[in-house]
Amino acid sequence: KQEVTQIPAALSVPEGENLVLNCSFTDSAIYNLQWFRQDPGKGLTSLLLIQSSQREQTSGRLNASLDKSSGRSTLYIAASQPGDSATYLCAVREETSGSRLTFGEGTQLTVNP
Amino acid sequence: DVKVTQSSRYLVKRTGEKVFLECVQDMDHENMFWYRQDPGLGLRLIYFSYDVKMKEKGDIPEGYSVSREKKERFSLILESASTNQTSMYLCASSLWAAGPYEQYFGPGTRLTVT
């Protein structure tokens, strides 16, 4: 059964710092991996989706990488801002699970002014 | 922009009541999903639907049922609400499974069963 782990569970950084969030998954037979942002009490907002054939995706200050063979993905946030404070979740879609996603528990990020 | 809406942001119900949670998407997506999110357990899939009148059980379907009579609407039904169903419920939608399509989420419904 696929398991997705995110480390660290919580992270607090000063404004302006570059940071990396980690996501690992146990079964490398994935179709794609998606990073989401969730603000307190709200739904999930899709940030980036990486296909299994891709190595990375970029959107503004965000860069997500994927190493499928080692079961790892990272989300890099450049020049962090207080508005980046949120919980970041990764989710994998397996090759054999249709549209189903398996989620990690998230990393709670706080960016201090 | 894809928009997924949920009928209520907050809901308080009593034990034993029948509860309906509604989700509507406006992008003609084939797939729709219901998750619940609990601290320490993350997001867990309850049910999903890949077409009108089609449904499949997710990881935790017990105590729930679903209905999809129209493509844009997916309802989650708690037949007899219990306190252990107090949770945040999230609906999502995506295009057909064969594509690399992202899932788009609604704002969530915080359900409290007393």
B49 strand-pairing partners: B32
Interface test with B, best of A35, A37, A46, A99 (most B CBs within 10 A): A99
**Is some CB atom of chain B closer than 8 A to the CB atom of A59?**
no
Kindly state the helix (H) or strand (E) to which residue A87 belongs, with its residue range.
strand A86-94
Residue A113 in this model has a pLDDT that exceeds 60? yes
- Joined together, the tokens standing for residue A74 give 């990272």
Interface test with A, best of B89, B95, B104, B105 (most A CBs within 10 A): B105
Using CA coordinates, name the residue in chain A closest to B46: A100
Please tell me the predicted confidence (pLDDT) of residue B96.
Answer: 72
Mean pLDDT of A76-89: 97
Q: Which of residues 74-93 of B touch A (CB under 8 A)?
A: 88, 90, 92
B45: distance to nearest CA of chain A, Å? 8
Residues A37 and A88 sit within 8 Å (Cβ to Cβ): yes
Using CA coordinates, name the residue in chain A closest to B90: A43
Using CA coordinates, name the residue in chain A closest to B40: A105
B90 strand-pairing partners: B35
DSSP-derived secondary structure letter, A59: E
Q: How confident is the model at residue B99 (pLDDT cuts 50, 70, 90)?
A: low
Which residue among A41, A89, A98 sits closest to B97, beta carbon to beta carbon?
A: A98
B106 to chain A: which residues are within 8 Å by CB? 43
pLDDT digits (tens, 9 = 90+) for B17-61: 999 999 999 988 999 999 999 988 889 999 999 889 899 999 999
Using CA coordinates, name the residue in chain B closest to A101: B45
Residue B98 in this model has a pLDDT that exceeds 70? no
What region does B59 belong to: left with phi over 0, alpha with psi -120 to 50, or beta? Answer: alpha
Please tell me the predicted confidence (pLDDT) of residue B95.
Answer: 84
Burial class for B84, CB neighbours closer than 10 Å (0-12, 13-18, 19+): exposed
Please tell me the predicted confidence (pLDDT) of residue A100.
Answer: 83
What is the separation, in whole angstroms, between the first and last Cα of chain A? 41
pLDDT digits (tens, 9 = 90+) for A3-44: 999 999 999 999 999 999 999 999 999 989 999 999 998 899
Residue A64 in this model has a pLDDT that exceeds 70? yes
Which contacts qualify for B27-30: CB closer than 8 Å, 24 or more apart?
B27/B2, B27/B3, B27/B93, B27/B104, B28/B71, B28/B72, B29/B2, B29/B71, B29/B93, B29/B94, B29/B95, B29/B104, B30/B71, B30/B94, B30/B95, B30/B96, B30/B97
* Spatial distance between the Cα atoms of B93 and B104, rounded to a whole number of angstroms: 5
B42 to chain A: which residues are within 8 Å by CB? 89, 103-106
